[in-house]
Chain A
Amino acid sequence: MSCMKWSLILKEIQYRKANFLLALMALVLAVALFVSFFTMGQALKKETIRLTRDMGFNLSIIPEATNMNDYWINGYSDKTMPQEYITKLIEFRDLSYAHLTATLHHTIQWKDKDVILTGVSPELEVEGNRKKTPMFFLVPKGKVYLGYELASQFGLAPGENIEVLGKTFSVEKTMVETGSQEDIKIYMDLAELQDLVRMPGRVNEIKALNCLCLAEGVDPTEYLRKQLGQVLPQAKVIVNKTIANARKQQRHTIDNYFAVILPIVIVVCFIWIAALAIINVNDRRQEIGIFKAIGFGPAPIAWLFIGKSLIIGALAAVIGYGVGISLSLYIGPDIFKVTASSIQVDVALLIWSLVLAPVGAALATVIPSLLATFQDPATTLSHE
């Protein structure tokens, strides 16, 4: 394209500033939202992972012979199973469970109160799966985590020593109030609890997590039970549907965020730019007519509009990127307090903006440009 045509485009932009600024504004908005959505989206994804992780395990694998009435009354199975079941599970590569944690629960009288001792093993992943950030805490040997109710009833604080079944433990941490059975639990290392209650190598629950993100129409509980039945017919799986549904809801929220809002914004801006281009073509009907009379062909005439869109697109990419990043860095930390550190300047988004914004703007101008080239000069240049 010759310098003269670029010069024509730039001069026209200067002349019709309002049209240019409105189109630029639309595209800056689209790019800024695109950039900030993706920048803050990283924080949102991490926040979602953290939220769903904090919701806890949604699967419990317990011995097949468990009396379910007792299970729901006590909060754990009165039967035990070998700890090596967890090894069988992680060796079964087709298993869709994650964060597998073996636990042993045992109720005792402690300081004249019923308390639940809970031993926790380190989390394991099915072989071949990538390592994940642990969902559950790990209690060091010789230490305990005290439930909120126990800590507050007996005025215990981290660093103090307590005695459990004749063995001294140091309080590593006191838990926050959960309003559940967790408040009367004493957490410790699984092996230490197994020694204390003389149940070596036994557990009564394997906690796990499953995304339950199966295809529409597949019952996740039935699917998981079938999977488990292949490996451990001596155990059964219980799905905590409240947690599962909350996780699903959270996932849908984030999916909607990316799948619905962003495309709507981009489509609206696309229509906005196309409408402005049509107005521009209409304003320039006589000009297009004279260009034709002088000897401009359809391609150079279309280029006057598409070239203008490319300029608007490139400018909007740079400005929009700046605005989007600034918005993310300024507002993001207030919204995503915990995962604010993941809101960072991403240069790849600038490159994407520089490619997508001009292309998008040019595409939005294709139809108006065609209208311009097919315009009948007889109607615009004639005064009869």
Chain B
Amino acid sequence: MNDIVKLHQVAKSYEKNGSHIQALQSMDLSVQKGDFTLVKGASGSGKTTLLLSIGGMLQPTSGEVHVLGKNIYALSDREKVKFRAHNVGFIFQMFHLIPYLHVRENILINNETTGIKVNENDLLKLTDELGISHRLDHRPSQLSAGEKQRVALARALIKKPEVILADEPTGNLDVENSQVVLQKLRSFCDEGGTVVMVSHDNYPDQYANKLVTIGQRAETVNL
């Protein structure tokens, strides 16, 4: 099997206000190239923890995380940063755009980390597909929620990553905008990319081909 993401007995626990919190419990997960994996679970079940762990941003307490065949937490900090810059795209529920940069600069911010100069035609084609090409010279504060998420999606897609990790990307969007985002993520998978997406909603199910439910123990089903 061509595993893009592989988790083996990954657990994450931490102390908060004197209490021991078990965010992830001995989780195993395999995500193959082209998979659109949907992660569901109750609030506080560790969905975001899982995504950040896959992204190399939150070291698990135990277990191993392999992305593109690399044990990501065995890499040095510098290698991890470089690996993330080239191979992983993030999308968040709260968009997290840089407020003082125009849309164009927010999307091209990756140039700084990948060192790859994005072709202007590629930028225009992608933003056109996402319906935000007329907003390139606007600031995030001038955009609607749907437009902001489409900018965040463009930022993740423009660098052509192997994996996109999406944390409730439709959580703040209306149905129409949600469909645009989900359709684009589906297309990304169809073209060989891999998506791991956290969601509370049911309608993304139709775009995914794998469902992981996090609870007492994680369960994976093919949709």
Residues on A lying within 8 angstroms of B by beta carbon are 2, 4-5, 7-8, 11-12, 14-16, 286-287, 289-290, 292-298, 300, 376-378, 381-384
Contact = CB atoms under 8 A, between A and B. Distances in A.
Given A2-B112, A294-B109, A295-B114, A384 B47 contact: yes
Contact of B113 (A7, A296, A384): A296
Given A5-B112, A290-B98, 12 more contacts: A293-B84, A295-B85, A295-B110, A297-B77, A297-B78, A297-B81, A378-B48, A381-B48, A382-B167, A383-B94, A383-B167, A384-B49
A384 B57 contact: no
Interface in B43-91: 43-44, 46-49, 52, 55, 57-58, 77-78, 81-82, 84-86, 90
Contacts of A286: 94, 96
A378 B49 contact: yes
Interface in B137-156: 155
Interface residues of B, number: 38
B81 A378 contact: no
B52 A382 contact: yes
Nearest to A298: B77
B168 interface: yes
Nearest to B14: A378
A379 B92 CA distance: 13
Contacts of B168: 383
A383 B113 contact: no
Contacts of B105: 7, 11
B44 A295 contact: no
Contacts of B85: 294-295
Interface of B: 43-44, 46-49, 52, 55, 57-58, 77-78, 81-82, 84-86, 90, 92-94, 96-101, 105, 109-114, 155, 167-168, 171
Contact of B98 (A287, A292, A382, A384): A287
Nearest to A10: B100
A11 B44 CA distance: 36
A11 B48 contact: no
Contact of B84 (A287, A295, A381): A295
A381 B101 contact: no
A119 B2 CA distance: 111
Contact of B55 (A7, A12, A293, A297): A293
B112 A290 contact: no
A292 B56 CA distance: 10
Nearest to B168: A383
A308 to B, nearest CB: 12
